[in-house]
Structure 1
Amino acid sequence: MIGRRLLVAAAAAGAGWVARAAWGTVPALGASRSAIRPYAAGSPRYRDNRFHNSEPSSSLPSGSQSGLAKAFLTRGATGRPRRAIPLAAPLAPTAAGELAVTWLGHATALIEIDGRRVLTDPVWSDRVSPSAVLGPARMHPMPMALEDLPTIDAVVVSHDHYDHLDQSTVVRLARTQSTIFVVPVGVGAHLRRWGVPADRVVELDWDESTEVAGLTLTCTEARHFSGRGLARDTTLWASWVIAGPRRTVFFGGDSGYTTRFADIGRRYGPFDVTLLPVGAYDERWPDIHMNPEEAVRVHLDVDGGLLIPIHWATFNLAFHPWDEPITRLLDAAADAGVTMSVPMVGQRIDGVRPPEQKPWWQGLA
């Protein structure tokens, strides 16, 4: 009898865990393919019901999914620091500055440019997953509460993967801010599905622009992919040019290396600051995630001034050691004569007068 009760209790506990894992996953998936298609169909990048990169690209080698899943399950502590990641106390001046970047972790950054503020790829959730209990977990707390953000003039989103587009964060931002969301074609359907008013959503294709609060926001090319469920590439992915009257910033979002970045540099550069992804690379997906050396190459291609690395340290999404992106980036930047600043999570970097670099990451991995 006791054994039977234990089995029943275990089954109930298991069912409860499954229910918690599944709770909220359907809304988090976002809009359906049919809801996205009317917006996507007009893009020259959209063929055969999906978006395409300009250069042939593969997100994973054919037939590698099972081996990759095993590698993730058996990687152990690879990619995680041994000690707590230090946080800086974010500084948010009452008036936005001429040029500054506060890195909040991964691809989330608060950009001050010509007296305006732009928030990139905002993710405040603890996991980058449709589930609250499954999926990659944050390796450090957010350095500031979402409700403590200053007034945001625009939010830009690079693509719809969970580590760049977070349902909970979008809903809270729409409630607490009157900001405009500027997104690649198709991504707006997710936001409208989550209740963001249509008049606060601007969807752009590559090389299309919009004006927000005196800033010109231009959707530019990236080499990546998209998808929140089983369907892949139903929405577009992008990098972004953020241009004010005096200053210009390039936000790389998430991308592999492509020669198209040189075209962006010729057309929209030079840039005072570039924010470029340097982590989550692997030889199994070289087309869609750049490595640190390629990030330096992109910085040079777009004619950047100060390089600020993003897309590392926050979520363990690959197999390299936690600090490897920065150690490799430092060497590559030094060899190329590139000026860079590696902010602590939460640190505000003055893009005009960058502070002296302190190697805060040393000894953590």
Structure 2
Amino acid sequence: MRAKISSQKNSQFLGIPRIVLPALALLPLLLTGCGHPNIVKIHHAPDYKQPISKEGRYQNTYPGQQSYPFTCEADCYQAQTTLQCQSDSPAEQCRYTGPQANIENTSGFKVRWFGHASFQISTSDGQQILLDPVTEQFDWPVNWGFHLLRGFSRGLPQGLNDQILSNANVVLYSHIHYDHFNKADIERIGNKPDYLVPLGFADHFPKGAYRINEMAWYSQQNFSSLQIHAVPAHHFSNRILVPLVYEDFAKSAWNGWLLQSHGKSLFFAGDTGYSQHFKDIRQRYGAIDVCLLPIASYYHKEDGARYRNVHTTPEDALSAAVELGCKVMIPWGYGNASWKMGDHSSHSALQRLLTVRQRIQDKPEGKVPLLILNEGEEVRP
């Protein structure tokens, strides 16, 4: 059966005036709710100890600067006939119209993409999982500062409505950055589902009798026929934006997630740079049927090395797909409703992915099956 598609950051200073920064740093304390206490459980893998410093800050498995399998050096953003855009250079406000990979007998999951890193995953027996659901802007006051000083706001994601939020059985968050976790969404989702989050994450939730499972790398939780594994990512975390205030830096961890159901597997990388951890995941769990891999937020004119260290380029994502043994790769991070942080335009990352893949057709990375979605679309097995 062929795929059926239907329409349905980081820590850098944002330029907020310094005179208001101390007040903004105190807002999380002032706005903390006083509802019913949350129910928090912490899960560790019996055979793995997640790296953490003596100061209690989480660390990447492979810290420091990474080496990359290959890099596109020139003419990396070629116009594509499969991208219908308002502007080809850069690729702005686009829709993908090209061919899709055949996912016959490889999925077992229904995947719907709402934009940026937000997905709904449905299993054959009715489990509804949300990945990094963020419905609007960053939490206040960052949304205000971003719109005022950067000059644009994120468009609303297509289809991520209250019905979908309230029907979730399990909600997974990869890390606490504002574009992946918005506290305002928690109250909309409610306390019916189980929340699976990285270590040190629960303190960022509002109070409201939420069931929160802090998951160390390689720990596991079961929900009927669904197994969810926390896996490493190569990233960082912080929530406070005031320069020189690092109290919360790396005080919570950052995860990828691996879902297994009825013999099929789906991998969500979260925000991550390229490192050896992809090979580690493959070694532990075997080849993966569907991989949701980020391809955006790697570009920065003055500090590209630092951005790439924690965000995969499109070519890095292709290398990761090979190392993970992905039978199909679904890229994310671009889009008309994206925040365009660390990107040339709304679809420059997708434009680069298609350009690079065309040039390396003789390499394993050039043969990775791609299933490219527009925001709001879903794919069924």
Q: TM-score surpassing 0.5?
A: yes
User: Does residue 1:297 correspond to 2:316, yes or no?
Assistant: no
Q: In the superposition, relative to structure 1, how do residues 41 and 247 fare at CA in structure 2: closer, same or farther (>3 Å)? A: closer
Q: Deviations over 1:42-97 (max 9, x none)?
A: 964221221111222379xxxxxxxxxxxxxxxxx9x98654879xxxxxxxxxx9
Change (3 A) 1:289 1:80: same
Where 1:181 maps in the other structure, the secondary structure is strand
- 1:221-260 alignment, distance < 5 Å: 221-229=232-240, 230=245, 231-260=248-277
CA deviation profile, 1:81-140 (whole Å, cap 9, x unmatched): 654879xxxxxxxxxx94221100100001122332211011012236643412265442
* Percent identity of equivalent pairs: 24
CA positional deviation for 1:332: 3.7
| Cα 1:290/1:23, change in 2 over 3 Å | closer
TM-score by length of 1: 0.72
Give the drift of 1:233: 0.5
Q: Is the 8 A contact 1:51 1:236 kept in 2?
A: yes
Amino acid at match of 1:181: Y
Q: Could you state the TM-score of these two structures normalised by the residue count of structure 2? A: 0.69
Partner in structure 1 of residue 328 of structure 2: 306
Letter in 2 for 1:197: A
Of the three residues 263, 275, 279, the one matched with 1:262 is 279
Alignment of 1:166-181 (within 5 A): 166-174=182-190, 178-181=192-195
Out of 163, 166, 177, the residue aligned to residue 148 of structure 1 is 163
Please name the residue that 1:165 is paired with.
Answer: 181
Whether the 8 Å CA contact 1:157–1:164 is kept in 2: the answer is yes
**Matched-pair contact (CA < 8 Å) for 1:153–1:213:** no
1: CA distance, partners of 2:31 / 2:310 = 22
Question: Structure 1: which 5+ runs fail to align?
Answer: 1-17, 32-37, 60-76, 87-96, 353-365
Sort the Cα spacing of 1:23 and 1:51 in 2 relative to 1 into closer, same or farther, 3 A: closer
SS in 2 for 1:339: coil
Aligned CA distance change for structure 1 residues 342 and 85 (closer, same or farther; 3 Å): closer
What's 1:118 paired with?
A: 129
Per-residue Cα deviation, 1:323-352 (whole angstroms, up to 9, x for no partner)? 2211221244452211111111000112x3
Specify whether residues 142 and 28 from structure 1 end up closer, same or farther in structure 2 by C-alpha distance, changes over 3 A only: farther
Aligned to 1:271: 288
- Give the 3-state SS of the residue equivalent to 2:344 in structure 1: coil
Contact 1:23–1:131 (8 Å) recurs in 2: no
| Counterparts of 1:50 and 1:29, CA distance in 2 | 25
Deviations 1:264-312 (A, max 9, x none): 0121132221001100003232211110000011111111111111122
Report how many residues are paired. Answer: 295
- Please state whether the residue corresponding to 1:134 is helix, strand or coil: helix
> In structure 2, which of residues 207, 225, 230 is the aligned counterpart of residue 195 of structure 1?
207
**Contact 2:293 2:317 (C-alpha < 8 Å) held by counterparts:** yes
Give the 3 Å change call, closer, same or farther, for CA 84–332 of structure 1 in structure 2.
Answer: closer
* Secondary structure of the structure 2 residue equivalent to 1:300: helix
Partners of 2:30 and 2:233 in 1: CA distance:
24
Structure 2: how far apart are the matches of 1:289 and 1:218?
22
Q: Does 1:281 align with 2:288?
A: no
Confirm or deny that 1:206 pairs with 2:217. Answer: yes
User: Could you tell which deviates more after superposition, 312-321 or 243-252?
Assistant: 312-321
Matched residue SS, 1:197: coil
- In the other structure, the counterpart of 2:12 is none
Q: Which runs of 5+ in 2 are unaligned?
A: 1-19, 34-40, 67-86, 97-106
**Residue pair 1:280, 1:317 contacting (<8 A) in 2 also:** yes
Secondary structure of the residue aligned to 1:295 is helix
Contact 1:154 1:180 in 2 (8 A): yes
Equivalent in the alignment of 2:28: 26
What is the distance in 2 between the residues matched to 1:291 and 1:189? Answer: 32
Query: Cα distance 1:107–1:319, how it changes in 2: closer, same or farther (>3 A)?
Result: closer
- Structure-2 change in CA distance of 1:46 and 1:29 (3 Å): farther
Q: Which has the larger radius of gyration?
A: 1
User: Using a 3 Å threshold, how does the CA distance of structure 1 residues 29 and 100 change in structure 2: closer, same or farther?
Assistant: farther
**Stretch deviating more after TM superposition (292-301 or 21-30):** 21-30
C-alpha distance in structure 1 between counterparts of 2:175 and 2:27, whole Å:
19
Partner of 1:217: 228
RMSD after superposition: 3.4
